[in-house]
Amino acid sequence: MSTDQLKKEISAIKGTHDILPGEVRLWQIAESRAREIFELYGYRELRAPVIEPTELFEKGTGASSDIVTKEMYTFTDKGGRSITLRPEYTPSVVRAIIEHRLDLQPQPLRYYYIGPMFRYDRPQKGRYRQFHQIDIEVFGEKDPAVDAEIVEMAHRLLARLGVERVMTLVNSVGCKKCRPAYGQELRKAALAVKDRLCPDCQRKAEVNPLRIFDCKNEACREAASGFPLITDFLCPECREHFQKFREYLDLYRLEYRVEPTLVRGLDYYTRTAFEIVAEHLGAQSAICGGGRYDDMVKEFGGPDLCGIGFAMGVERLLSVARIQIPETSFVYFAYLGQEAKKECLRLARALRSEGIESLVEFKDRRMKDHFSRANKLGAEWVLIVGEDELRKGKFQLKDMVNSRQFEGSVLELAAIIKGKKILETT
């Protein structure tokens, strides 16, 4: 096949992206900082498969949710099983807990994971078909202190990644006891003013009246301003949980706004719901969203184990992160002649054993071209091997940043390179 045909016929699937070496550094830094921070709080990584039985999400994410009804990558495998590329991570963790009886381990269970998720959605900025989430889940801890813990942890990560101008929105969506009453009242209120709503909201009034709060239409906003709020319907237990959650947030000195109209899109949330939004992210402004799901494990036939978690969108996160990429330092080998080339191949091996990145290019060049090349590639050091050096067994090492030059054996030069590294990092 010609490259023309390749270009025409084979390209990355819509909504998916290659992450090229230039950008992948940012990903690695974000991922390693996330791991570092989560481990500081006692969270451990749990890796679940990318593919799961379709029923897992139908049951967990919710059969009526948008994600399940129109956004899943579902296919039948050769064994006739219905398989789905996970659109979110929480159901997988719940499955793993039940399957491996992880609830028998000391609780609370604290897990994290970083990986790709898949949703068949119309791509736009901050929304892709394969996207990546940093995911946190805690099981078996009812204390709202843990609700605040994960919010605080999210903020620590954001700060560590240089994310500024964020707003934390919190709410309680109640529980099985108090939420239904609120839902009825809200629907009643919405239907009462139905004729004043836009066509879209008239539909929402039937299906999901909570969504009317989000409408940008002026008439709808006005009509919605008189709607009842969940915060006025919470049962005493939920009210207390929400109250304490906020007290812990205050203890951490975290700024937040109570947003009584905040609903998470997934059906399973109970009590705490929160979202962290960033400015300058356009319509897809939520970089982190999460909440409590106290009934999910039980509904899967597992133990009565409460849960809470959040997901961060890595692509969104990186688009607002300000990460300084540390300069890479490596040695470029400038040689003259075939004998010198062979010597360089040996020397490079020795330097790599010392933990020093070394690059020997195989094309014979003039000295000037070697330097030009080293400069272009961003080498911090150039190690020169010519006839003189071969004879003496001592080599020239040039510091490309400060234009200083040293002479010595491999180990002496290695010490100079490492010495500078140590100086820089201390």
Candidate residues 137, 141, 315, 343; the one interacting with RNA per rule CB under 7 A: 315
User: Under rule CB under 7 A, which residues in 133-192 are in contact with RNA?
Assistant: 133
Q: By CB under 7 A, how many residues form the interface with RNA?
A: 68
Shorter beta-carbon distance to RNA: residue 338 or 426: 338
Question: Taking contact as CB under 7 A, which single stretch among the options 41-49, 142-150, 151-159, 213-221 is the one that binds RNA?
Answer: 213-221
For residue 259, state whether it binds RNA (rule: CB under 7 A): no
> Cis omega (within 30 of 0) on the bond before 236?
no
d(Cα 344, Cα 370) in Å, to the nearest integer?
13
For residue 8, state whether it binds RNA (rule: CB under 7 A): yes
d(Cα 418, Cα 275) in Å, to the nearest integer?
45
- The sign of the dihedral angle between the CA atoms of 132, 118, 303, 47 is negative
Secondary structure element (H or E) that encloses residue 306, with its range: none
User: For 310-319, b where at least 16 C-beta lie within 10 A, e where not — what string?
Assistant: bbbbbbbbbb
197 Cβ contact list (under 8 Å, min separation 6):
190, 204, 205, 212, 215, 217, 219, 220, 223
User: Under rule CB under 7 A, which residues in 360-419 are in contact with RNA?
Assistant: 363, 366-369, 371-372, 374-376, 382, 384, 386-389, 396, 398, 400-401, 403, 405
For residue 280, state whether it binds RNA (rule: CB under 7 A): no
Which tokens belong to 297?
């494990």
Shorter beta-carbon distance to RNA: residue 127 or 421: 127
Candidate residues 53, 123, 260, 408; the one interacting with RNA per rule CB under 7 A: 123
Closest residue by Cα to residue 102 from 138, 59, 136, 61: 138
Question: Taking contact as CB under 7 A, which single stretch among the options 75-83, 232-240, 287-295, 412-420 is the one that binds RNA?
Answer: 287-295
Which tokens belong to 247?
């007290």
For residue 128, state whether it binds RNA (rule: CB under 7 A): yes
Candidate residues 25, 127, 244, 394; the one interacting with RNA per rule CB under 7 A: 127
CB of 133 to RNA, least distance (A): 5
Beta strands in 264-360 (DSSP E): 270-278, 286-292, 307-313, 331-335, 358-359
Phi then psi for residue 335, to 5 deg, are -130, 160
For residue 67, state whether it binds RNA (rule: CB under 7 A): yes
- Which residues are at the interface with RNA (CB under 7 A)? 4, 7-8, 14-15, 65-67, 71, 88, 119, 121-128, 131, 133, 200, 204, 208, 211, 214-216, 264-266, 275, 282-289, 311-313, 315-316, 336, 363, 366-369, 371-372, 374-376, 382, 384, 386-389, 396, 398, 400-401, 403, 405
